[in-house]
Structure 1
């Protein structure tokens, strides 16, 4: 049983990937991190010896993560609470998360962060499916503060070079784009080590809708229709992205929690 200031691996696993997930802060020592340079999805590295970053932290809730959930995470959590920032500790730390077989993101796959600690991405304007699905995956599982730039297709690579942004979902020899029959969302799920059953199920739906192979998943037609509808509702790509995040939140929760549920109207009782 976790203490009142701890959260269990099982409970955190239910929060990761949802808009209600607290800010996750990895405070492992450099030595411990070097043993396994992977992050719990959505977490960010911070130095427990230099706590100046606390003053810039804007969060309603935080969870501190160290190797075993002992002195380092409890100490930093206490400092956060001292600054009126609610803070809990992951029970058992990264070791307990890893032993539970839950996904960990290789830090080598995450782009370099800017001076504000954010990853910056650039893609083609007027997104439909992949260019909303990928930002959703990044915001929910890689970097909640990620910045997305939408520009005309011919300018993507030049903008990427000029503004040190990571291009995605464009034609050409780039890291984050379609590979064979896989769409960019598929590629990211695999590269980031996020191959849980719900995300693989969602990846199939996204691929089916994005590549016009609606036979791959019966839900794909609904995602395609909703995505095209959003593109007609919003002329501003960033406003469309914010609306699309909610759409993918709903699809993810269906993939994770509701695939066995059916609608019951008209009810069997009324039919009888």
Structure 2
């Protein structure tokens, strides 16, 4: 992509609307070959940005979903112990003995998302989404530093694999914990804000084409006000889309108090939030 404007156009064609700041961040990430760290409240479209970027580039999306306890074997690579055991038994049946060098070869290597992205071969590099990196343990970040800095993964038994063309790397974080400076230094950074009501309405309109324009406009404007309440989890774009989808599914063409309360479970995710939002909906 030649400039931020083209980034906006290509992502728009993939049904993902960006503001100027995010368009510039994506452009610089692509032009400089640097990983892009996206932070923001849950539901602002961080994961969707990576998915749309893969569509815009017409390249595979490889996703690594992070969680507490994530290990190198699940993220980088691991050995296929079943195949190794089978090879040992076949060798024993032939009255042969396999050395360690025979067992730890590329034949028995299982690629996990990061090594798969490094070893990808194709006309364009893949988009690697490292989703919700803040959910992983601190130690896992250290495993990423070689890859993020050099687009390579070292397998002690085989050596270092380096990407022929570095993958497009997008990391997302909801800031449930602070990330280490070493990781941040290797990435470009962008904070995604909740979209304005007008941009949110356009996003919802594309996601729920069967909903009426008055319903979408009223719902996105109201969600903007609901986010200002004292909530455990403010509704994001995903919840807004779910709410408008639910309202459209019951035949609503505009906001009505009874319909809003009956579908409140699409935007309120805790009992306390349900109560707070219900009171706000009933208040003129």
Structure of higher RCO (CA pairs closer than 8 Å, 6+ residues apart): 2
Alignment TM-score, normalising by the size of structure 2:
0.27
Give the alignment's TM-score, normalised by structure 1: 0.28
